[in-house]
Structure 1
Amino acid sequence: MIYDDYVDETSKEASEVDVLFFEVGDIVYGTDASQVLRIDRAHPEDLELPDLGALKRGNRAIVFIIPEEIIPEGEEFEGPFEGHLKVDAIRGVRPVPIMDLRRLPPTAGAAPYAVGVFLDQERPVMLIDLVETLNDQGRH
């Protein structure tokens, strides 16, 4: 959940969200840890997002659940359908106060997967929606 100036304070369910921090090249990004199934070794067919930056090694992958409602009709699968995003390193998971997360305005012109920003010790961290990374690549 990302803080939105227009959300009523009483409607918030929690005061913190767990954010998984990861690196692509020299840049640190964050994502909602609740989307993450596991961290795995990367495979050649795993998703790469050049807009995030050039991978140095790309030897890790964030594995995340793809919700059933966005899976194309007629595609059969067993268990959760998974997406894999290649990354260079995992920095860890840490709780972040919701009040410290900011949604990107539509006028920012950012990619659909870039949902917000978090100021981490005076350094901005772009927050990524993992499922939207598939939409950006025309997959799902």
Structure 2
Amino acid sequence: MMDEQTSVEEEVDILFFEVGEHLYGTDASQVLRIERSLPEDLSRVELGELKHGRRALVFSTEEGESHLKVDVVRGVRPIPVGDLRRLPPAVNAARFTIGACLDQARLVLLIDLVETAKTQGRH
């Protein structure tokens, strides 16, 4: 019984989503809800070119709620903490890219939603 409880505590719920051809993940606890996107919602060229951008991940920032446009929400799955990897500092990735994990043999970049809003408009 203790092993089952321990394994649950060592997992993080990751919400998987797509922007164009790219699959990403984020800590599901950052996402307040998923809505239809609006024209003024945030999109990040660093994530890829949106096909339609009809959905938005809604999350909290210091300034209030923010909405990130995405094409597809794939769902939430628990990922063992041991399967999550931080990106080394030498990797030239966007500031909001915080790590990676493997999902069904596919490398998935993990992003921090709050940081996507903070770095909007910066290069």
Is the TM-score greater than 0.5? yes
Unaligned stretches of 5+ residues in structure 1? 1-12, 72-80
61, 79, 101: which is aligned to 2:84? 101
The residue identity in structure 2 corresponding to 1:130 is L
Counterpart CA distance in 2 for 1:122 and 1:23 is 16
Matched, 1:50 2:74: no
Counterpart CA distance in 1 for 2:67 and 2:84 is 25
% identical equivalent positions = 63
- 1:40-67 alpha-carbon deviations (Å, 9 max, x no partner): 010010000011110000000000011x
Matched, 1:33 2:33: no
Q: What TM-score, normalized by structure 1, do the two folds share?
A: 0.78
Kindly tell me the number of residue pairs found equivalent between the two proteins. Answer: 115
Higher strand proportion (structure 1 or 2) = 2
Report the aligned-residue RMSD: 1.5
Q: What TM-score, normalized by structure 2, do the two folds share?
A: 0.89
Cα offset, 1:14, TM superposition? 2.7
Counterpart CA distance in 1 for 2:119 and 2:105 is 29
Matched, 1:111 2:94: yes
